[in-house]
Amino acid sequence: MRLKLLAAALTAAAATLTSTTSAQAGHSWGSYHWARTANPFTLKLGDNLASGWKSYLGTASNDWSQSSVLNTTVVTGQSNNNCRATSGRVEVCNRTYGNNGWLGLASISANGTHITSGTVKVNDTYFNTATYNSPSWKTLVMCQEVGHTFGLAHQDEGQTNPNLGTCMDYTNNPDGPPSNLHPNAHDFTQLESIYAHLDSTSTVDHSAAVPTVGNSKASWGKRVARSAHGDTYVRDFGKGSKVITFVIWAG
Ligand SMILES: [Zn+2]
Ligand SMILES: [Zn+2]
């Protein structure tokens, strides 16, 4: 009995350690970053969105541009319907992707640790339902998925604990209090940490072939982080080329 309790305590300690580590975006997933030769750098967010979504991308772009290390600018999208990744930038898309379980999906392709492209998809199959058809849910999910394309992970993957006041936190109630609709100071600190060094080359606006994954779990590779509201997958394409997919599940 005593041994069992100890084992349980050790497991709990290990779980705490794991969640602490995964909360430190800059040090786990955060080793993935856009290569650039100077800060702040400007990342293009390609708008492939229907009119009803455009303002949410505008809000996310403004929010993240408060960072001292990066700016984002919304430009005309290049991938219309299929949201295929475009090298050197991020493509943002909405569509009724079906009852596949996910509310939002962010993928980054990386060469070594350098991000070479990003995609954000929001699933209208769920956003058209009463539960998610609200400015709050749309604001949170767009903010979080765009945040992933910089290399940021979640601050916290619990569902029942209180809101942390950042869109990089899972929640059952985006409005809180505190509200999880926008980034918080901790996210900006994480970005400063991820982008503290400079590179001799740039992947921003760089043109090269990039690997891409599809809309189904089967194409995302190995699951490397798991929680009730979202998971992270990595698919290895070989020769240092990977795609990391962050999914936020509906309901
Ligand atoms: Zn670098
Ligand atoms: Zn996420």
Tens-place pLDDT, residues 16-35: 333 333 333 333 455 899 99
> What is the 153 CA–ligand 2 centroid distance (Å)?
7
> What is the 146 CA–ligand 2 centroid distance (Å)?
9
- pLDDT of the residue at 248: 94
**What is the CATH number for 27?**
3.40.390.10
- Tabulate helix, strand, coil % of the chain (nearest 5): 30, 25, 45
Ligand nearest to the CA of 201: 1
Tens-place pLDDT, residues 127-179: 999 999 999 999 999 999 999 999 998 876 665 678 999 999 888 899 999 99
- pLDDT of the residue at 153: 87
Domain count of the fold of the chain: 1
Beta bridge partners of 225: 232
> What is the 198 CA–ligand 1 centroid distance (Å)?
6
Residue 241 burial (10 A CB sphere; 0-12, 13-18, 19+):
middle
Q: Is the full-model pTM beyond 0.85?
A: yes
> What is the 166 CA–ligand 2 centroid distance (Å)?
12
Ligand nearest to the CA of 157: 2
pLDDT at 12 over 70: no
Ligand nearest to the CA of 112: 1
Tens-place pLDDT, residues 70-91: 999 999 999 877 899 999 999 9
Q: Which two tokens stand for residue 222?
A: 């190995």
- pLDDT of the residue at 227: 78
For 223-237, what is the mean pLDDT?
89
Tens-place pLDDT, residues 184-207: 999 999 999 999 999 999 999 999
Residue 80 structural domain: 2-249
CA within 13 Å, CB half, 241? 11
> What is the 138 CA–ligand 2 centroid distance (Å)?
13
> What is the 201 CA–ligand 1 centroid distance (Å)?
8
Tell me the C-alpha distance between 32 and 35, whole Å. Answer: 9
> What is the 51 CA–ligand 2 centroid distance (Å)?
23
Beta-strand pair 222-226/230-238: antiparallel
Q: What is the CA radius of gyration of the chain?
A: 18
Q: Which two tokens stand for residue 147?
A: 């945040």
> What is the 95 CA–ligand 2 centroid distance (Å)?
18
Axis-axis angle for helices 135-148, 51-64 (nearest 10)? 50
> What is the 157 CA–ligand 2 centroid distance (Å)?
9
Print burial letters for 38-50: b (CB count within 10 Å at least 16), e (below 16).
ebebebbbbbbbe
* Cβ atoms 29, 153 nearer than 8 A: yes
Ligand nearest to the CA of 31: 1
Tens-place pLDDT, residues 93-114: 999 999 999 999 999 999 999 9
Pick the more confident residue, 34 or 11.
Answer: 34
Instruction: State the maximum Cα–Cα separation within the chain, in Å, rounded to a whole number.
Output: 63
DSSP string over 78-122: S-TTT----TTSEEEEEE---SSSEEEEEEEEEETTEEEEEEEEE
* Cβ atoms 170, 193 nearer than 8 A: no
pLDDT at 182 over 60: yes
For 211-228, what is the mean pLDDT?
91
